[in-house]
Chain A
Amino acid sequence: MSFPAAARVSLADAQLRRNLGKATSLIREKRLRAVAEVPDWEALRAAGEAIKASAMARLPEVLEQLEQSVTAAGGVVHWARDGAEANAIVAGIARANGTDEVIKVKSLATDEIGLNEALERDGIRAIETDLAELIVQLAGDRQSHILVPAIHKNRAEIRALFERTIASGESLGDGAAAIAEAARRHLRAKFLSVPVAVSGANFGVAETGTVVVVESEGNGRMCVTLPRVLVTVMGIEKVLPAWRDLEVFLQLLPRSSTAERMNPYTSLWTGVTAGDGPREFHLVLLDNGRTRVLADEVGRAALHCIRCSACLNVCPVYERVGGQAYESVYPGPIGAILTPQLRGLDAAPSLPWASTLCGACYEVCPVKIDIPSILIHLRGRVVREQKSALSPEALAMKAMAAAFGSRRRYEAAQRLARLGRGPLAKAALPGWTAMRDLPEPPKETFREWWKRRQG
């Protein structure tokens, strides 16, 4: 479905609009306060941008260093060109360990490649342990936010879902604690019995081979410490060159995402350690379109994203349509520039237009991704590479450009416009007139008045 069509469906859902409006306005205010506390916030943003740009500029070398460091620390590194290769690697590891269940840390990379569905086809059940991911999974729903995948659901909807599923008909009452307790009971049993866990990665440090996962609930911590085998699927753009780079990102990320000074759980592991944590560690380095994004000199900055979701929370479009209208695990402004690049412009040609270019996203981005400029760049690419030069829009743009090309043609077009005709007349815009009146054409244009005044 095109973005405008999918948006139309979401916009009609009054409960969704209310849930989203409430949640995003709350997190927006909290983020403003959290950021205002940091005197060198702008310097941190600049550092974050510079570190990412430098890592992307020498990606092959940094990734090979990561591979060496992880291997030296007792881990196994796998390279996956696409989602199918990554999924097959994970399934192979699960099978080799004789399990038909894996527990999962919240991970966008594995959602991007449809890992759960691929494992299901191989007879392996993936159990989401992040509370919001669990809600989405139990409901058979789709994620609607990078950080808060069930942001579109309110407490009453979640209670009803749990009563129907993991609480097996038990009544949970109105309190958040009882609802959370139902999830806790369900998940604890899995943490203690499933031998293989799958995670994503917020950062992978080339210098030391350390993988980092940042979270709020502690369920991720259970997954990366209790099972015998840990598999991490990491997009290749998540690599950081040096250990000290974490200093910058561990400040930028929590304040931008959950508006916390520090997130409750930061798990870091380096290969395997005897007597502590998993016995086996696999790192799957995932490309899946990323090197193609890297080839676009303007668009490549989208790879700097640290998935904080601040841009979603401030986006007036996202706030109204929600994440599902973007039809990607990456919704909102960052999704509008990432999805068409990762999947190819032909797969999501309407997404670069899913923005008014209001600039709120760029203002909050912790690594200063100029999302509006990349949107405009991608619009240009869609127009040049995807659209027919004979489409009504292209012809109208061409006619207008021609009219603006000379004073004589421009003034003639103005005269025609007054009669509702020609390249400057916009009478036939049903999208406009459904809600708004068109302005009455004035009796004289500004330049006619000017000429009359000059005598």
Chain B
Amino acid sequence: MRVALFVTCFNDTLFPDTGRAVVSLLERLGCSVEFPLEQTCCGQMHANSGYDADALLARFERVFASDVVVSPSASCVAHVRSHLPGIRAFELTEFLVDELGVVDVGASFPHRVVLHPTCHSLRLLRVGDRPRRLLEAVRGIDLVDLNAAEECCGFGGTFAVKNADTSMAMLSDKLRHVLDSRAEVCTAADTSCLMHIGGALRRQRAGVRTMHLAEILAAQE
């Protein structure tokens, strides 16, 4: 299947490993991956902060008009889907499970992992247990439960800066649950939440890494 990767501006600029993992995973599963170089940003941050994002959405529509779009960001896909109903955009785990019909993607990752189900994947896209099923099929993985898993980590885009104290209070609780799980890797379907959680884990020298789900599904350790 031919797919167009919407990597998101955030991953493109700050977390290229996530995009590379998506490419490697999809190619391994027999997809032909295109990366339209005209893509920039879907405008989610502008729109959710109260700023006009129509021009960015229009640009997105032009760039991806005729494609099956796959993206490693639940929140960007949710934004695109709610504003551009004509675009066929899938979040990575939706695409793997629903479009390709695979749960075992042939990955091997012998580490103790905890999954943070992000709010927009849960409540906007309703991906349900797709991420968990994909992870459970990874060889060698020790997937452990996260307490209060479905509670927001406190990122919320500009919320983390505008309401920094409240964001930190929410993050503290999320970190406590992550550390209680004794996992060595915390994963999720959104890099933005992981930047928030991972930034604090690094600050605390907690010895726990954050990795996007795509990186685990691409791994063949």
Contacts and interface: CB of A to CB of B under 8 A. Distances in A.
Nearest to A397: B51
Interface stretch (A111-119, A198-206, A441-449): A441-449
Contacts of B49: 379, 383, 397
B203 A446 contact: no
Given A356-B156, A357-B156, A359-B120, A401 B166 contact: no
Given A358-B119, A445-B16, A382 B7 contact: no
Given A383-B50, A410-B40, A447-B35, A435 B200 contact: yes
Contacts of B90: none
Nearest to B171: A435
B14 A401 contact: no
A404 interface: yes
B46 A401 contact: yes
B163 interface: yes
A446 B12 CA distance: 5
B164 A431 contact: yes
Contacts of B171: 435-436
B46 A11 contact: no
Interface in A400-449: 400-401, 403-407, 410, 414, 417, 424, 429-432, 434-439, 441-442, 444-449
Contacts of B202: 436-437
A358 B38 CA distance: 30
Interface in B32-53: 35, 37-38, 40-41, 43, 45-53
A4 B164 contact: yes
Nearest to B50: A379
B58 to A, nearest CB: 10
Given A320-B166, A359-B123, A417-B13, A401 B56 contact: yes
A293 to B, nearest CB: 18
Interface string A218-242: 0000000000000000000000000
Interface stretch (B96-104, B134-142, B147-155, B177-185): B147-155
Contacts of A432: 160-161, 164, 199
A404 B200 contact: no
A404 B164 contact: no
B196 A436 contact: yes
B122 to A, nearest CB: 8
Identify which of B11, B17, B167 gathers the most chain A CB atoms within 10 Å of its CB.
Answer: B167
A437 B12 contact: no
A356 B122 CA distance: 14
Interface string A368-390: 00000000101111111000000
B70 to A, nearest CB: 14
Interface residues of A, number: 63
Contacts of A352: 50
Contacts of A405: 40, 55-56, 59
Contacts of B20: 446, 449
Contact of A445 (B12, B45, B119, B203): B12
Contacts of B168: 434-435
Given A4-B166, A414-B13, A362 B35 contact: no
B199 A444 contact: no
A79 interface: no
A356 B51 contact: no
A442 B14 contact: yes
A248 B80 CA distance: 35
B35 A356 contact: no
Contacts of B122: 359
B156 A355 contact: yes
Interface in A1-28: 3-4, 7-8, 11, 17
Nearest to A354: B163
Contacts of B40: 403-407, 410
Contacts of B196: 436
Contacts of A407: 37-38, 40
Contact of A317 (B16, B50, B166): B166
Nearest to B8: A446
A400 B47 CA distance: 13
Contact of A439 (B14, B23, B123, B162): B14
B41 A358 contact: no
B35 A450 contact: yes
Contacts of A384: 50
A82 interface: no
Contacts of A3: 163
A346 B35 CA distance: 45
Given A4-B163, A432-B161, A358 B16 contact: no
Contacts of A424: 9, 13
A317 B41 contact: no
B145 to A, nearest CB: 17
A277 interface: no
B152 to A, nearest CB: 4
A360 interface: yes
18 contacts: A7-B166, A317-B170, A356-B154, A356-B157, A359-B122, A383-B49, A397-B46, A403-B40, A405-B59, A417-B13, A424-B9, A431-B160, A435-B171, A436-B195, A436-B200, A441-B14, A446-B19, A449-B16
Q: List the 3 closest A-B pairs by CB distance, nearest first.
A: A356-B156, A436-B199, A379-B50
Interface of A: 3-4, 7-8, 11, 17, 316-317, 320-321, 350, 352-360, 362-363, 376, 378-384, 394, 397, 400-401, 403-407, 410, 414, 417, 424, 429-432, 434-439, 441-442, 444-451
Given A7-B165, A405-B40, A430-B164, 12 more contacts: A8-B165, A11-B169, A317-B163, A317-B166, A357-B156, A358-B152, A380-B50, A380-B51, A400-B41, A417-B13, A442-B15, A446-B11
